[in-house]
Structure 1
Amino acid sequence: MIKAIQHTLLGLFRIVRSFLLLDEGEAVAVDAGHSRGCAKRIIEALREAGLAPGDLRLCILTHRHWDHSGGVGALKEMTGCEVAIHGGDAGVLGGVVDRRLRDGELIPLCGGIRVIHVPGHTPGNICLLYGDALITGDTLIGGRRGLKPPASISCDDYGEALRSLERLSGLDFEAVYVSHGWDRLRGGREAVLELLDRLRSTS
């Protein structure tokens, strides 16, 4: 099961989303939001699912940007969870990181979570393949007319970010979960292929 958690800034502006992966009493968080308040909201979501803070085994950060990682120190303090991020982004976060992830790695929690390295937004940017779902972080944005790539100004290397999207065409998934925009898109693989076709036609 995937549970979306919407985070706000000043209680007004919806700026980013975390996700909880839940499976038989085990929980993994994907991204920690931007603040201690976001960490508290993740713990509230755990309790709503009938779990205790200590049931959170791991927080996986899709990348290093503050709106995804700013709350991770507080979340680790409150739950005792480990923190994982791709090695390309790990150095920025210092001692809070317990595990450096690698492309293709299978994390043996919640039935198995596959790491897909898609650099460009940041050097260590990742997606996660979980069952029939692709959790994209900022690799994809949910727009009014479907999926779109992140804004060029937000990327370390926009060209690489666009090239990395081609990796998604070879993955098997049905739903897409994004951090910005709407939270879930069924028929997500078809939407990814449509986006890639649009990008190819304009390149």
Structure 2
Amino acid sequence: MNISNGVAMLELKIQQFVLNPTLIWDNETAVLIDAGMPGQWDLIRTAMAEAGVAFDKLKVVILTHQDLDHIGSLPEILNQAPHEIEVYAHKLDKPYIEGELHLMKTDPSRMNKEAWASVPEQLKPLYENPPKSKVNQTLEDGQVLPYCGGIQVIFTPGHTPGHISLYLEQSKTLVAGDALVCVDGKLRGPIEQTTPDMNTALQSITKLQNFDTQSIICYHGGLCHSNVKEQLKNIGVPYPFI
């Protein structure tokens, strides 16, 4: 789904869920924000083509955080790319993405027996051996990346220690990652069950109110473009995942 000229929200279906990475581009460079689940490389490439962007134009991948459904297909992308791709993430999530530390939320050693037993059998190998990738560049709060009209980094911890959101200056689009969820066009706080530090996550949302935002892309729930500034001011509760 094209949001504006040079910005598209991708839609990656996995069972009953849809994941929404963001693709931005200009005449020289394409940037992918988050990389779906493992095995979704073909879906990403097809979605890029539907947006009118050739895969060989992709030069940058930015990860909003360390979770499995955001790192997912990055190793495949890097392996298939005809040139080196720069990978960006916050320094606090870097050791998890690179495999120095196990991903926080899919670490079997952190789960009790009941939680591990509830994980679908087809996902257990991914939990035990999640995808990993080198992070070439670490990001800091307030940093502006010089791609596609400017991408401002907003440090929004809580969902993970190094979670970031991104403000696309040219289109006034906020890419929220998992800091927010969109439910039937309405913004909600992050998913309660997958946010270890909810107090910090809710405090992070207040930082998002400082931007002149016209549209918000949530990784879960997709696009919200109705009165987003007012909606951001009124968020005070997480979204209970059902």
Q: Same fold (TM over 0.5)?
A: yes
With over 3 angstroms needed to count, the CA separation of the structure-2 counterparts of 1:117 and 1:158, relative to structure 1, is same
Contact 1:18 1:32 in 2 (8 A): yes
Identity of aligned residues (%): 30
Q: Which of the residues 153, 169, 180 maps onto 2:220? A: 180
CA contact (8 A) 1:123 1:156 kept: no
2:190 aligned counterpart, secondary structure: coil
The structure richer in helix per residue is: 1
Q: Which residue of 1 aligns with 2:125?
A: none
Q: Is the 8 A contact 2:185 2:223 kept in 1?
A: no
Partner of 2:189: 149
The structural deviation recorded for 1:28 is: 0.3
- Gaps of at least 5 residues in structure 2 are 1-5, 99-132
Say which of 1, 4, 16 aligns to 2:9.
Answer: 4
Alignment-derived partner of residue 41 in structure 1: 43
For residues 149 and 23 of structure 1, the distance between their equivalents in structure 2, rounded to whole angstroms, comes to 32
Matches within 5 A, 1:110-129: 110-129=148-167
- Give 3-state SS (helix, strand or coil) of 1:183's partner: strand
Residue 145 of structure 1 deviates from its aligned partner by: 6.7
Query: Using the alignment, how far apart are the partners of 2:12 and 2:51 within structure 1?
Result: 18
Residue number in structure 2 paired with 1:190: 230
Contact 2:10–2:21 (8 Å) recurs in 1: yes
Shift of 1:183: 2.4
SS at match of 1:40: helix
Q: CA deviation at 1:117?
A: 0.2
Q: How many residues align structurally?
A: 195
Q: What is the alpha-carbon distance in structure 1 between the residues aligned to residue 44 and residue 96 of structure 2?
A: 23
- Name the residue aligned to 2:135: 97
1:76/1:82 contact within 8 Å kept: no
Aligned pairs for 1:17-96 (under 5 A) are 17-36=20-39, 38-79=40-81, 80-94=84-98, 95-96=133-134
2:123 counterpart residue number: none
State the secondary structure of the residue aligned to 1:129. strand
Unaligned ranges ≥5, structure 1: none
Deviation track 1:32-72 (CA, whole Å, cap 9, x = no partner) reads 00113x22222223333443322101111111100111111
Please give the alpha-carbon distance, in whole angstroms, between the structure 2 residues aligned to 1:133 and 1:45: 19
Report if aligned partners of 2:34, 2:64 keep a CA contact under 8 Å in 1. Answer: yes
SS in 2 for 1:88: coil
Structure-2 separation of matches of 1:135 and 1:144 = 17
Q: Conserved in 2, the CA contact under 8 Å of 1:54 and 1:81? A: no
Structure of larger gyration radius: 2
Contact 2:12/2:44, CA 8 A, preserved across alignment: no
Q: Deviations over 1:88-118 (max 9, x none)?
A: 1010111521111111111111111000001
Deviations 1:137-166 (CA, angstroms, capped at 9, x unpaired): 100000137111112221121111111111
- CA distance in 2: counterparts of 1:186 and 1:110, whole angstroms: 24
Paired amino acid for 1:91: P
Distance 2:42 2:87 in 1: 16
CA contact (8 A) 2:186 2:224 kept: no
> 123-132 or 150-159, which moves further after superposition?
150-159
CA displacement at 1:3 relative to structure 2? 0.9
Higher strand share: 1
